[in-house]
Amino acid sequence: MRLIFLGPPGAGKGTQAELFTKEHRLAHISTGDILRDAVKRGTPLGLKAKQYMDSGALVPDDVVVAIVAQKLAGIDGGFVLDGFPRTLAQAEALDKILDESNGNLDAAVYLDVNEDTVVRRLSGRRICRKCGANYHVENMPPHREGVCDKCGGELYQREDDRPEVVRERLEVYRRETAPLIDYYRTRDLLRTVVADPPPEEVMKELGKVLA
Ligand code: AP5
């Protein structure tokens, strides 16, 4: 299966992609995670990306497309792209990459979520500094406050989850990414899942629309 997960910040793309790829043994490619890892390691890519990410802007298309092309070249089986594409230029670049490898997308899953839900989710999100695991202070709390269940690492709030940056990310989403819903609808690839319910329910719906 070759899938993309689309939706606004906080729709649950990362959460669902992690559950889905584990269950179906697919590769999980998250451009956000790759960029955050580069920032953490202080690589040239990270230094370049940080200025965009901290303000809620998109990293330039050529940078992100090159990352995804390289990742896909190293993958044999199916995958979920989480957070890519995010602009029409990226969607067209992905089509070209897949054409050149004689591949094609099976579906673009749109996680449709209410804006109030997004704001609540992002303000409560916590991430493990060590392994990147994702929590929410109310919806998916760790067993011990501030400590990762998986590796014992410290949990922190993402810089771009501050309210003023969330507003900017939502604006960028509406302007740059929302047009992709039509892009995939016209290609008959769009599958919509209402993403407000708890993760297990969303996961069940996801299974249904992809069956
Ligand atoms: P990225 O990391 O991709 O951020 P995003 O798209 O804004 O998505 P989020 O990670 O905020 O949300 P999500 O939908 O994955 O939700 P999650 O599962 O985490 O990108 C960050 C930045 O990198 C961008 O702003 C940009 O600068 C750059 N970038 C990345 N890709 C790029 C690209 N292609 N082009 C250019 N720039 C790019 O869930 C959120 C919270 O809600 C968590 O706490 C989770 O536990 C909780 N939660 C999830 N699902 C549920 C549920 N069903 N019920 C209750 N709580 C839930």
Secondary structure (H, E, C), the chain: CEEEEECCCCCCHHHHHHHHHHHHCCEEEEHHHHHHHHHHHCCHHHHHHHHHHHHCCCCCHHHHHHHHHHHHHCCCCCEEEECCCCCHHHHHHHHHHHHHCCCCCCEEEEEECCHHHHHHHHHHEEEECCCCCEEECCCECCCECCECCCCCCEEECCHHHCHHHHHHHHHHHHHHHCHHHHHHHHCCCEEEEECCCCHHHHHHHHHHHHC
Classify domain 2-125+164-209 by CATH number.
3.40.50.300
pLDDT value at residue 162: 87
Task: Give this prediction's pTM.
Answer: 0.92
Which atom of ligand 1 lies at the shortest distance from residue 126's CA? 44
Q: Which of 134, 131, 159 is closest to 50 using CA atoms?
A: 159
**Cβ of 134 less than 6 Å from ligand 1:** yes
- Residue of 31, 158, 201 best suited for mutating to test ligand 1, as the one with most atoms within 8 Å of CB: 31
* CA distance linking residue 125 with residue 81, whole number of Å: 21
Name the residue of 125, 194, 201 to mutate for ligand 1: max ligand atoms within 8 A of Cβ: 125
158 is catalytic: yes
How large is the average pLDDT for residues 151-170? Answer: 91
pLDDT in tens, 1-59: 999 999 999 999 999 999 999 999 999 999 999 999 999 999 999 999 999 999 899 99
Q: Is 8 in the pocket of ligand 1 (CB under 6 A)?
A: no
Give pLDDT tens digits for 105-120: 999 999 999 998 999 8
Residue length of the chain: 211
- Would you say the CB of residue 31 lies under 6 angstroms from ligand 1? yes
Q: Which is the closest atom of ligand 1 to the Cα of 136?
A: 44
pLDDT digits (tens, 9 = 90+) for 69-89: 999 998 988 999 999 999 999
Q: In this predicted structure, what is the pLDDT of residue 103?
A: 83
Q: Residue range 144-161: average pLDDT? A: 94
